[in-house]
Amino acid sequence: MISNSDHTDAAAKQRQLRQLRQQRNRSRSSISADPEEFLPSRPPSPPGPNANAPPPSERVTRLRLSAHYAVLVLSSMLGCVARVGLNALCTYDGKIIYALAWSQGIGSGVMGLALAKKNEMTILYPPLYTFLTTGIAGCITTFSSWMLEGYLSFSNFNHYNRNGLHDTVDGVAYSLSTFAIALSCLHFGEHFGSALPKLPYFNTLSRVTQPEEKSSSPSLLPHTPILDILTILTAFLAYLIALLLYFLAPRSWRHDVVFPLLMSPPGAILRFSLSNINIRHPFINRFPLGTFISNIVATLLIAGTFAAQRRPNVVNAGNVRCNALYAIQQGFCGCLSTVSTFVVESRAIEGWRWKWLYVGTSVILGHVLVLAVVGGTGWSEGYVDVCTG
């Protein structure tokens, strides 16, 4: 005969197993998505696909949530100017690899470093994680420019002396090398971050707090209203300085550099907001719809502005319109789309079918949209030389 106590023990064990499974599933997804949460003591490999989503509003104060968005103002500007600078530095005669590869690789490396150091940044100040991942890494890399330059390779837009087969080889090589560089640099960044010594304050706290307590706690840091307010004020000050530079800086570089900076924060903030969709069912760990929407919308916009730059009515319209089109490409589209998050998600999605569906749909649809806009406009109406501000 089985006693009632045996039934009670069995039911209790089943409840414990269910709780463990729920905690394990959460650690693979939403914990890594929240900048306010610690990763488990043995973090999942790969990390959850939603590593750049805002923290749930019910877990943080309005000031802290505003600080997460505010850090994107300065970080998106820094990421954009780094990408523009790398493109200028790496564009020269006889280069062995296209200039954008450096931006995609460095940004993905920063993302890997941030993933490896997330727990330490969470102790210090959680918006730092948003600053590095969504801001710096997400804005140095750009999915929209990848799609545009990939199409230019496939279509031989610059009229190199080669045949159609060579155009296909060049386009495929461009896309495969971009993804491979970003993914390998992500791994390198994680490896480099893991090799760095932990900060002293993190070791002290680790001895005091058990890993189970860290992973289950909404946040170990107390509310920091003063620091949050300073972060928000810094964002306003950074944007004000950029605005003043646009009107006061030398004309020789202010339009090429400062104008894109003014367009960067809206793109990064919109991408960060859309990432909330990633952690909703049924998309979580399957198809990061928020990132997908950001990348596709940015690709459509950059294709439209690229085509508009080469239309006679824009070329003859003056400097402001031409500079605005360039700023939308480099600033808004460059920060609305991202490769660093894209490769993290492609590595973390559960199931090969969903991995191929997400990566394949993003890349193929991106190229098709550029083909429809840039190719369709060029074939129907033709292009003139690109406008210059």
Query: Tens digit of pLDDT for each residue in 99-150?
Result: 999 999 999 999 999 999 988 888 888 899 999 999 999 999 999 999 999 9
User: Distance between the two ends of the chain, CA-based, in angstroms?
Assistant: 89
Give the per-residue pLDDT at 78: 97
| pLDDT band per the 50, 70, 90 thresholds, residue 11 | low
Least confident of 86-90, 211-215, 258-262, 382-386: 211-215
Cβ-contact 150, 175 below 8 angstroms: yes
Say if 196 falls within a structural domain: yes
5-9, 80-84, 234-238, 338-342: least confident range: 5-9
Identity (one letter) of the amino acid at 134?
T
Average pLDDT for 62-87: 94
Q: What percent of the chain has pLDDT over 90?
A: 55
- Token readout for 98 is 């296209």
Q: Tell me, what's the pLDDT at 237?
A: 97
Predicted confidence band of residue 384 (pLDDT cuts 50, 70, 90): confident
Tell me which of 310 and 83 has the higher pLDDT: 83
Predicted confidence (pLDDT) at residue 318 exceeds the cutoff of 90: no
pLDDT at 165 over 90: yes
**Does some domain include residue 137?**
yes
- Predicted confidence band of residue 175 (pLDDT cuts 50, 70, 90): very high
Residue 227 falls inside a structural domain: yes
| Residue 316, pLDDT score | 62
187-193 average pLDDT score: 95
pLDDT of residue 344 exceeding 60: yes
**Structural domain harbouring 119:** 44-381
Residue 260 in any domain: the answer is: yes
The reply to whether 211 falls in a domain is: yes
Domain annotation covers residue 25: no
Domain-embedded: residue 326: yes
Q: For residue 315, what pLDDT band results from cuts at 50, 70 and 90? A: low
Q: Quick one: pLDDT at residue 197?
A: 85
From 18-22, 212-216, 298-302, the region with the lowest mean pLDDT? 212-216
Residue 41: pLDDT band (50, 70, 90) is: low
Give the pLDDT confidence of 282-310 residue by residue, as tens digits.
Answer: 878 889 999 999 999 999 999 999 999 88
> Looking at the 3D structure of the chain, how many domains does it have?
1
pLDDT at 313 over 80: no
Per-residue model confidence (pLDDT) at position 212: 46
13, part of any domain: no
- Three-class HEC string of the chain: CCCHHHHHHHHHHHHHHHHHHHHHHHHHCHHHHCCCCCCCCCCCCCCCCCCCCCCCCCCCCHHHHHHHHHHHHHHHHHHHHHHHHHHHHCCCCCCCCCCHHHHHHHHHHHHHHHHHCHHHHHHHCCHHHHHHHHHHHHHHCCHHHHHHHHHHHHHCCCCCCCCHHHHHHHHHHHHHHHHHHHHHHHHHHHHHHHHCCCCHHHHHHHHHCCHHHHHHCCCCCCCCHHHHHHHHHHHHHHHHHHHHHHHHCCHHHHHHHHHHHHHHHHHHHHHHHHHHHHHCCCCCCCCCHHHHHHHHHHHHHHHHHHHHCCCHHHHCCCHHHHHHHHHHHHHHHHHHCCCHHHHHHHHHCCCHHHHHHHHHHHHHHHHHHHHHHHHHHHHHHCCCCCCCC
